[in-house]
């Protein structure tokens, strides 16, 4: 099974979906509608948990419809981890592409700060409190996947894009020249919220020489990780998106790698 | 701060709306008339991405397909009757209104969806808006033959002057 091939297919399908949904809406077909802030498949509503959390802070009320609609992504995060980030998010897809380009052009980043999960959670707290104080949905304005999907819909429906897209441009430039994969790895509030839903049995990348063949310490897995994580050294979470690039990169035979997904 | 723009039907009061709307664009997708567009930076930083209706280009035809799709409740989902809509109130600039200036015109009166209630013709055949019944859909503003429109909708959130 080629993990990366499947993942690329999923990523491309999602990018297409961002344009296909508004095109269908334009034709009067509204079975599927919405953007990556909130999406609807018929009566099934799916809202980004970060957006739900933010609305709790900005409105100080609990909208039952909104609450119910965040359940599915929360369950997905509890079961499979941050697979939204690694497998679906269009910003991650774009950042992966930019990183591949940077690797090809041998661009050296100016800074390489160590990922600090605590800082992420502190920043999320600050953003949420600030959103409550100013009464504006700051996470909506900082959600790169949300922005990309809304602007894709606007291209179709309004033949224009908004200034929100500047954030995406900024992220790409910073990641190309300043800090590798800075947004997903250090800042993104959407990913931070998804990272909150972790339990012991949540799907994770596990390194174990007892189950698989012996690791030769070739470090192919660490080199494959764009987020700069080292599966052999451990402590992958909450940053790891469960993209599976490390597992795929492991050169030890296909069936019994020392690196695998486990619930 | 820029004055509040015309919001889709069922919108919460402006400040509450700005805090509640998640900028997802679902209402704009649901609008069959493409009347709902998303505000950009030029409409003000606070409202960036929020749904607005530019009535002179495309008014609200009160199909009420948008309120039920709102995921955050920024548009009140239970809105069913067009008579209950309160997006704003139409105002007539009598100095530029053709009928008030002596030409025979009843474009706004004819096209008002709350027909003969929200806009009535007075004894002099001049249109008069009944603020109590006007829903603020902006159809009158759209069809007004004067340039710029002599009848315009003042959004509910707009500050009194």
Q: Please, what are the domains in chain B?
A: 85-155 (3.30.70.20)
How many CB atoms neighbour CB B152 within 10 A? Answer: 19
Could you tell me if A140 lies within 8 Å of chain B, comparing CB atoms? yes
Q: Write down which residue in A196, A227, A250 finishes a domain.
A: A196
pTM for the whole thing? 0.91
Residue A1 pLDDT: 54
**Sign of torsion, CA B78 A133 A188 A195?**
negative
B36 bridge partner residues: B53
Is pLDDT of A212 > 70? Answer: no
Its sign, for the CA torsion B65, B70, B75, B81, is: positive
Please state, in angstroms and rounded to a whole number, the distance separating the CA atoms of residues A15 and A9: 10
pLDDT the model gives residue A232: 87
CA distance A105 to chain B (A): 35
A192 and A213 housed in the same domain = no
Structure tokens at A137: 């949905």
**Which domain covers residue A238, as residue numbers?**
203-263
If asked whether residues A211 and A188 sit together in one domain, one would say no
Which residue matches tokens 């015309």? B6
pLDDT value for B1: 37
Could you give the CA distance from residue A252 to residue A49 in angstroms, rounded to a whole number? Answer: 38
DSSP labels for A154-167?
HHHHHS---TTHHH
Say if A151 is an interface residue toward chain B (CB within 8 Å).
no
Q: Which residue of A has its CA nearest to B28?
A: A157
Decide if A38 and B46 are in contact by the 8 Å CB cutoff. Answer: no
Question: CA A89, A91, A92 angle in degrees (round to 5)?
Answer: 70
The pLDDT tens digits for A235-260 are 788 889 999 999 888 888 766 778 88
For residues A211 and A243, state if they share a domain.
yes
Least confident of A212-221, B64-73, B104-113: A212-221
Q: What percent of chain A has pLDDT over 90?
A: 70
Question: From the CA of A52, how many Å to the nearest CA of chain B?
Answer: 8
Which of B13, B26, B69 has the most A C-beta neighbours within 10 Å, making it the best mutation to test the interface with A?
Answer: B26
In this model, does residue B26 exceed pLDDT 70?
yes
- Are both A187 and A224 inside the same structural domain? no
Q: Quickly tell me which residue has 């008014």 as its tokens.
A: B59
Burial A231-240 (b: 16+ CB within 10 A, else e): bbeeebbbbb
What ipTM does the predicted assembly reach?
A: 0.90
pLDDT, tens digit (0-9, with 9 covering 90-100), for A37-49: 999 999 999 999 9
Q: Spell out which residues of chain A touch residue B21, defining contact as CB-CB under 8 Å.
A: 137
Instruction: Specify whether A180 is located in the same domain as A244.
Output: no
A135 touches chain B (CB under 8 A): yes
| Subunit contact B25:A153, Cβ cutoff 8 A | yes
- Predicted confidence band at B2 (pLDDT cuts at 50, 70, 90)? very low
């Amino acid at each position: 099974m080629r993990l990366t091939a499947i993942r690329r297919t999923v990523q491309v399908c999602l990018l297409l979906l961002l344009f296909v949904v508004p095109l269908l809406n334009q034709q009067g077909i509204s079975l599927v509608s919405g953007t990556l802030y909130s999406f609807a498949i018929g009566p099934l509503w799916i809202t980004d948990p970060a957006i739900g959390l933010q609305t709790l802070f900005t409105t100080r009320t609990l909208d039952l419809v909104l609450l119910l609609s965040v359940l599915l992504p929360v369950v997905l995060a509890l079961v499979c981890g941050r697979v939204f980030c690694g497998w679906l998010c269009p910003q991650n897809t774009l950042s992966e592409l930019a990183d591949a380009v940077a690797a090809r052009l041998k661009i050296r980043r100016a800074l390489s700060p160590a990922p600090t999960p605590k800082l992420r959670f502190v920043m999320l707290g600050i953003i949420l409190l600030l959103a409550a104080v100013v009464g504006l949905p700051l996470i909506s304005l900082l959600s790169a996947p949300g922005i990309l999907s809304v602007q894709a819909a606007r291209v179709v429906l309004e033949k224009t894009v908004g200034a929100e897209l500047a954030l995406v441009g900024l992220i790409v430039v910073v990641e190309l020249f300043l800090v590798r994969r800075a947004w997903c790895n250090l800042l993104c509030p959407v990913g931070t919220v998804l990272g909150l839903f972790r339990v012991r049995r949540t799907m994770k990348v596990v390194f174990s020489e007892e189950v698989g063949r012996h690791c030769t310490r070739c470090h192919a897995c660490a080199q494959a990780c764009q987020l700069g994580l080292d599966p052999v050294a451990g402590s992958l979470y909450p940053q790891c998106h469960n993209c599976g690039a490390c597992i795929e990169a492991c050169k030890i035979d296909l069936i019994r790698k020392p690196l695998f997904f486990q619930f | 701060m820029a004055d509040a723009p015309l919001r889709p039907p069922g919108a919460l009061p402006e400040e509450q709306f700005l805090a509640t709307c998640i900028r997802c664009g679902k209402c704009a997708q649901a609008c069959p008339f493409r009347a709902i567009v998303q505000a950009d930076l030029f409409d003000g930083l606070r409202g960036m991405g929020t749904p607005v209706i530019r009535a002179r280009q495309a008014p609200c035809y009160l199909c009420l397909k948008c309120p039920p799709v709102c995921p955050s409740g920024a548009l009140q989902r239970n809105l069913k009757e067009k008579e209950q809509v309160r997006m704003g109130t139409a105002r007539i600039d009598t100095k530029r209104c053709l009928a008030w200036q002596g030409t025979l015109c009843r474009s706004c009166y004819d096209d008002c969806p709350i027909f003969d209630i929200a806009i009535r013709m007075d004894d002099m055949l001049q249109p008069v808006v009944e603020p109590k019944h006007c829903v603020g859909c902006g159809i009158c503003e759209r069809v007004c033959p004067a340039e710029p429109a002599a009848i315009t909708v003042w959004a509910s959130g707009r500050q009194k002057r």
